[in-house]
A = this chain, B = another copy of it.
Amino acid sequence: MKLQLANYLNRYASFNSEEIELIFDSLSQKVFQKKEFLLEQHQLCKERFFIIEGLVRHYRTDPDGNENISLFGIENWWITNLDSFVNEVPSSNAIQAVEKTNVLSISKTELEILYCKVPKLERTFRLITEKTLIAIQRKDEIYMKQSSKERYDSLVDQIPNFAQRVPQYMIASYLDITPEYLSEIRKNR
């Protein structure tokens, strides 16, 4: 687990073993069973989660009871509701395990302390945040110009075994298409 974290962090900056120890010691290991919530909607998001193994969804339920999935998180991915975590406001979204999921979690206070102790972590989180921002902008633009089929194809090609790991109704919600239409797309693929 520590090795996986070290490999991940070293993609962004060169961390020595002492720094890795410091970071690892500030993280808590947690296991969430399938359908368990890492964060409930309207709660304060007090943690950032690094996914060691598993798959989660970040989604909101609207007043009519419809679910809107905005993000999926997989292995080697940080997930949180950033607005709630940064601005200390209730989270507009829930985060729920789609599979049994092992994470390393860190609180805001612990992370602030770490930024001071290990300044390379500022760089790492700057780069991670840039990457997430680019992904969201690309998603917004892809939505604006691609057909439902193209959206489905690019999604399942991005994440290994994605179509096997995630229920179809969730993929339909993420792609903003009906489950019936998704079923058509899959048949013709």
Q: Which residues of A does B touch, CB under 8 Å?
A: 60, 62-63, 68, 70, 82-83, 86-87, 92, 115, 119, 122-123, 125-126, 129-130, 132-134, 136-138, 140-141, 144-145
A92 to B83, CA, bound (A): 26
A187 to B82, CA, bound (A): 37
Q: How many copies of this chain does the complex contain?
A: 2
Cβ contacts A to B, 5 pairs, < 8 Å: A62-B145, A82-B134, A83-B137, A115-B123, A122-B122
A134 touches B60 (CB 8 A): no
B130 touches A86 (CB 8 A): yes
With both beta carbons as reference points, the residue of chain B lying nearest to A58 in the complex is identified as B137
With both beta carbons as reference points, the residue of chain B lying nearest to A63 in the complex is identified as B145
A92 touches B122 (CB 8 A): no
**With a CB–CB cut-off of 8 A, which chain B residues contact A82?**
130, 133-134, 137
A136 to B115, CA, bound (A): 25
Of B83, B115, B130, B141, which contacts A138 at CB under 8 A?
Answer: B83
A91 to B83, CA, bound (A): 27
A122 to B121, CA, bound (A): 9
| Chain B: minimal CB distance from A35 (Å) | 23
